[in-house]
Amino acid sequence: MEVLRIEGLSKVFGSGRLEVRALEEINLSVSAGDLVALLGPSGSGKTTLLLCTSLILDPTAGKIVFDSQTIFQKNGWSGGVDIRRLRREKMGFIFQSHNLIPFLNARQNVLFPLSLVGTKGESADNRVMELLEYMEITERADYLPALLSGGEQQRVAIARALANNPRLILADEPTASLDTVRGKKVMELLKKIAKENQSAVIVVTHDVRMIEGFDHVYQLKDGRLNLG
């Protein structure tokens, strides 16, 4: 089942002599359970594509269909779509720098997105501990981020991204701050998540060592996506 479809997506920054065409006519389809890698050098448009896909950055043109609902078309968000709610409830984000809240422990960091959608009490607590166990990090549940290793922080970040059972998970260089062994473990977790949860997972990376077993690997260069 198709989760995400992008048609003719473009993003332009600036105008005139200062114009930068960050994305050029991007076409992409991702189905439930798919693990997709976006490869490309720095400045190729990988992060810009994730930001447009996640509704954080407005595209200049094109169309985005998410879960059979058109959420962007031509040059504006579709009327009647609550973008913030859609992002909170159906998308999960994993960042290179983890972005954990420093004054909340691991359990509280995972609990936070649940609280945003009104899930509280025993139901929320059970979900958090289920995810920490899934990430094999329950023994660190009461630790603040500063007391966790890089790999442990990334596991908490992944648990947080899964809190609301997202249809789409977007990961921007999730292994960049990890060594090769820990990086591959994170990628194995993402593969497991895609298959078991039937989430669509898009991973931006520049490291070809990390993409073994991915369903699709695409190259971005100068804002253009090569689907070959």
Q: What Å distances lie between residue 137 and 43, 186, 213, CA to CA?
A: 35, 13, 24
Cα Rg of the chain (Å, integer): 18
> What's the pLDDT tens digit per position in 9-64?
999 998 888 888 999 999 999 999 999 999 988 888 999 999 999 888 989 999 99
User: Which is nearest to 134 in space by CA: 114, 170, 100, 160?
Assistant: 160
pLDDT band for position 79 (cuts 50, 70, 90): low
Instruction: Please check the confidence at residue 180 and state whether its pLDDT lies above 90.
Output: no
Please tell me the predicted confidence (pLDDT) of residue 6. Answer: 96
pLDDT of residue 83: 83
CA distance 36 to 211: 9
Domains of the chain: 2-76+84-226 (3.40.50.300)
Burial 48-65 (b: 16+ CB within 10 A, else e): bbbbbbbbebebbebbbb
Percent of the chain whose pLDDT exceeds 70: 97
For residue 101, give the nearest of 89, 115, 90 by alpha carbon: 115
Is pLDDT of 143 > 90? Answer: yes
Q: For the whole model, what pTM was predicted?
A: 0.88
Closest CA to 54 of 18, 79, 30, 25: 30
Model confidence at 185, pLDDT cuts 50, 70, 90, reads confident
Confirm if 10 and 28 have CB atoms less than 8 A apart.
Answer: no
Task: Give residue 78's pLDDT.
Answer: 59
Model pLDDT, residue 35: 93
For 133, 152, 174, the CA distances from 38, given in Å and listed in that order, are 29, 24, 12
pLDDT above 80 for 191: yes
